[in-house]
Amino acid sequence: MKNNRQLSVCHVQTDLLIIGGGTAGCWAAMKLGEEKDIRVLIAEKANISRSGCLAAGVNALNAYISKGHVPQDYVEYARCDAQEIVRDDLLLSLSERLNDVTQELEKLGLVILKDENGDYVTRGWRNVKINGENIKPLIASAARRGQNVSVLNHVNITDLKTCEEDGRKRVCGAVGFSVNEEKAYDIDAGAVLIATGGAAGLYRPNNPGFSRHKMWYPPFNTGAGYAMGIRAGAEMTTFENRFIALRCKDTIAPTGTIAQGAGAKQVNALGQVYETKYGLTTPERIYGTVEENRAGRGPCYLATAGISEDQEEDLYKAYLNMAPSQTLKWLESGRGPSGQNVEVEGTEPYIVGGHTASGFWVDTKRKTTIDGLYAAGDAAGGAPQKYVTGALAEGEIAAQSIAEALREYKAAGTGDRAKSPDRDQAGAFIRKMQEHLDRPAGVLNWEQLETAMQKVMDEYAGGIRTDYRYNEKRLLKVQEEITRLQGLADQLPAADMFDLLHVYEVKERLTVCRTLIAHMLARKETRWHTFGENADHPEQSPEGLVYVNSRMEDGRITIIKRPLVKGGSYEHKD
């Protein structure tokens, strides 16, 4: 039966629109809460109090500069882990702020563990322990306190509005819809900050079916910011540097707390330590696990059997803070980590700029290649290993840059977007939403199409099924399939607004998949084992020491290879 529901349109004006109320987005809003002359609007498809990667809490801040170290040390650590493909300028600018934002978190009420001297308890030289169940509500509350900050919860932004100024493209707002009401939003803004996180759900997950959302990265982070930036023509970087997490089997709980907190080594089924054989970088830890299983020496484990009672108690508490299912699994089995090793496995691949270098190509002010558009946190590329505090630092950098740019923009007399709002462009986007609502149910729904997408990505684009390996023939095949599925996605029906959200999430993932495949085809080497395991080119190549970037123009993806800039600064030159 045809759905005759009609979307009403709500017009909103603001100076800055922050798309995504997660870690970086809320921190940017908090910083701009002190700027009384700048109106800030956060648009979040969930609720900022419990949205994003910090929704369930964390038990450590993984980016911190401890005594005896300097920010440049963190840059070198990230460079080593990423096999040289990093932006020094971006990493250094955020590393210089890691300790300051950590102290600010403590002032907001976050409990950070301290030793007898009053110093933070570190886990290695770059991590500090916290009691972080309430970290997201604390940050969200701080953002809300700004008198100039407004929040639109349960509003899903789908498309960026662009206009021409002095012959250059500029982002001048965005369009979206309410998840709960039959209402579309047409938002005019002087600047837009993308803080929507990365992309999960592109590949078939470890636990398909009923448990498909038991994954490492938030299943609700669909690459929405990437997708709207790609469609608007923004330059993207390093999507081929996928992230695959080493996780506790079945629960997909983090393993770093066990490896670092309990000093557990990676061992195979024969009890042999294999982590030193393959290397200790993040991708090498996954690679070793995959190779040991391929050689018939699996399952693989973190060797916790025999740890002390105190260590076991610490692990129980730590996982209650961030992954309760792992603590429950131990308790239900009747054997805790001291009585049995913890089996580990790799997850499906994700695109996430907080761990690898994938995302928007930005300058040191976190401005993208389109005027008026900025990116921070997992959405911004070039600076891997940023984690929570790095995302906060980037939100802060972007906020300061945007405040400066908006004042200059207003001073030039062109800052009032309400004078020339692009209602025709917004109307076209809203009509597409309405078409999905008007379309009667057919033989294909969003869930079936998403399953088809995940299946072909898993089989042909280096998913779990092929031990993360891919080759050119497989990539060309999946490229064709994803293009076909994109055509079908435009014909999907939506029974209600929540159904419409799912339809757009599938469309976002498909857009990200297209860009990912183009990047994987462009890098003719294996720069990162497992993360980018190219069976046609199994070794590193000197020609691979470049940034693989892309830009979509008229529906076609163009690859741009930019030289590495080591120790210097890269700013947009074209």
Residue by residue, DSSP assigns 536-559 as TS-S--GGG-EEEEEEEETTEEEE
Return all residues near 423 (Cβ < 8 A) that are at least 6 apart. Answer: 186
**What pLDDT is attached to residue 320?**
84
**What pLDDT is attached to residue 411?**
80
pLDDT tier for residue 573 given thresholds of 50, 70 and 90: low
**What pLDDT is attached to residue 566?**
82
The rounded percent of the chain whose pLDDT value lies above 70 is 97
**What pLDDT is attached to residue 287?**
96
First-last CA distance in the chain? 51
Nearest to 517, CA basis, from 471, 467, 564: 471
CA distance 265 to 169: 52
**What pLDDT is attached to residue 324?**
87
- In eight-state DSSP terms, residue 273 is B
Beta-bridge mates of residue 162: 171
Q: Residue ranges per domain, the chain?
A: 8-197+353-424, 246-346, 433-541
Fold of 246-346: Flavocytochrome C3; Chain A, domain 1 (3.90.700)
**What pLDDT is attached to residue 419?**
43
**What pLDDT is attached to residue 212?**
80
Residue pair 32/404 in contact by the 8 Å Cβ criterion:
no
CA distance 109 to 253: 26
pLDDT at 417 over 60: no
pTM: 0.95
Burial 184-195 (b: 16+ CB within 10 A, else e): bbbbbbbbbbbb
pLDDT tier for residue 570 given thresholds of 50, 70 and 90: confident
**What pLDDT is attached to residue 4?**
65
Task: Among 210-219, 238-247, 369-378, name the one with the lowest average pLDDT.
Answer: 210-219
Burial 211-240 (b: 16+ CB within 10 A, else e): ebeebbbbebbbbbbbbbbbbbbbbbbbbb
pLDDT tier for residue 414 given thresholds of 50, 70 and 90: low
pLDDT at 537 over 50: yes
pLDDT (average), residues 549-570 = 91
Architecture of the structural domain at 433-541: Up-down Bundle (1.20)
**560 three-state secondary structure:** strand
pLDDT (average), residues 43-61 = 92
Dihedral sign computed on CA atoms, order 194, 196, 198, 202: negative
**What pLDDT is attached to residue 3?**
54
Distances (CA, A) of 312 to 341, 345, 424: 12, 21, 61
Residue pair 473/35 in contact by the 8 Å Cβ criterion:
no
The one-letter code for the residue type at 150 is S
pLDDT (average), residues 276-302 = 94
In this structure, the chain runs to a length of 574
Task: Among 64-78, 166-180, 182-196, 411-425, name the one with the lowest average pLDDT.
Answer: 411-425
**pLDDT averaged over the chain?**
93
Beta-bridge mates of residue 99: none
Return all residues near 304 (Cβ < 8 A) that are at least 6 apart. Answer: 258, 262, 264, 315, 337, 338, 340, 341, 342
Nearest to 507, CA basis, from 565, 433, 431: 433
Return all residues near 15 (Cβ < 8 A) that are at least 6 apart. Answer: 38, 39, 40, 189, 190, 191, 406, 415
**164 three-state secondary structure:** strand
Dihedral sign computed on CA atoms, order 89, 93, 96, 101: negative
Fold of 8-197+353-424: FAD/NAD(P)-binding domain (3.50.50)
**Higher confidence at residue 280 or residue 447?**
447
